[in-house]
Amino acid sequence: MVQQSYSQSKGAGLLQRAAYAWRLGLMYLERISGSADFSGLQADIDFYRAAYLRETGKDFGQARMLELGFGQRPFRLILLQSLGHEVRGIDLDRPLYRIDPTTIASLFRSNGSFRAIKSLFRALVFDRIEYRALADYLSRHYGKKLRFDPTALVTGDLSRPEPWRSAGATFDFIYSEDVFEHIPRHLLPNVVSLMARSMSDRSLAVITPMIFTGISGGHDIDWYPHRVDVEDVSRTPAWGHLTGEAVPGDTHLNRLTRKEFRDLFMTEFDIVQEEETRPDLGRQHLTAERRQALQAFDEQELFSNTVRFVLRKKRTAV
């Protein structure tokens, strides 16, 4: 993922970053305290398969795939690999998939101290539990063992050509979930251009960013999608990140609107489908008072949140 570290976020002091990391940790604990749920990942893959067949007429199982921004826990990529798909990935940070002195030293060099410590803590406390749960899911639902080839993961900046060359293929299908909102806006045209160049003729991409203008777009933990319907009078006002009443979460956000993403993708692709994955999220919080405060934004922007763009490479793209 191309994003700034917490230490690079403007106005983010050490105390603020620590508090944010602590709250994220509590959220992880809440998630793993119950049974692991991989239905969301499975729903994504089912959507990919249906869209690819519909738009290309080809077998999804034969597609060469690339994930942009696989993150520290590349579960979606691992699930696809375990089901027999040919898939690679590119991310700015090196994931921690094994713990030994060499890997830890490399992690500090490539990710920086703050992110390296956070990754180590997450790996030791949370990741092993979730990897075991993913293995159980594969066994129960598919009768397959977890398969993970770490050589398929490329570390590098998506806006530069080197990691794309290291990925080493022309791809039929590219996907990305909750990543493009973190890429600095001046680098996005490079990323979209490199994506088009790495795709075969008439291939397909599914890119799903979190739109800044949505109620969850500020990445405030109190307004994460799974918390929007929770009654909590102590949290900041809804859409407060748009009105200056709240500070966005401690991570780099490029603040692109849905329209700006649409215009960006149209430079290289035809948009064959565009849909909200959580339609009307937060509708109950758009009171007359909040609507007045948010009059600069239309309702399509306010209820965007995560928007799935299905992109077909233009014949004229280089």
Q: What is the pLDDT of residues 203-219, one digit of tens each?
A: 999 999 999 999 999 99
Instruction: Compute the average pLDDT of residues 242-261.
Output: 93
Are residues 122 and 93 in contact, defined by beta-carbon separation less than 8 angstroms?
no
Instruction: Compute the average pLDDT of residues 26-37.
Output: 57
Check whether 29 has a pLDDT greater than 70.
no
Q: Per the structure block, which two tokens stand in for 22?
A: 């602590």
Q: What is the pLDDT of residues 143-159, one digit of tens each?
A: 999 999 989 999 999 99
pLDDT of residue 30: 56
Q: For residue 223, which phi and psi values (nearest 5 degrees)? A: -120, 20
What CATH number is given for 6-313 in this structure?
3.40.50.150
Question: What is the percent of the chain with per-residue pLDDT over 90, rounded to a whole number?
Answer: 65
How far is Cα 54 from Cα 314, in angstroms, rounded to an integer? Answer: 17
pLDDT of residue 7: 32
Please name every residue paired with 155 in a beta bridge, in sequence order, or none if there are none: 91
Are residues 177 and 103 in contact, defined by beta-carbon separation less than 8 angstroms?
no
Per-residue confidence at 79, pLDDT binned at 50, 70, 90?
very high
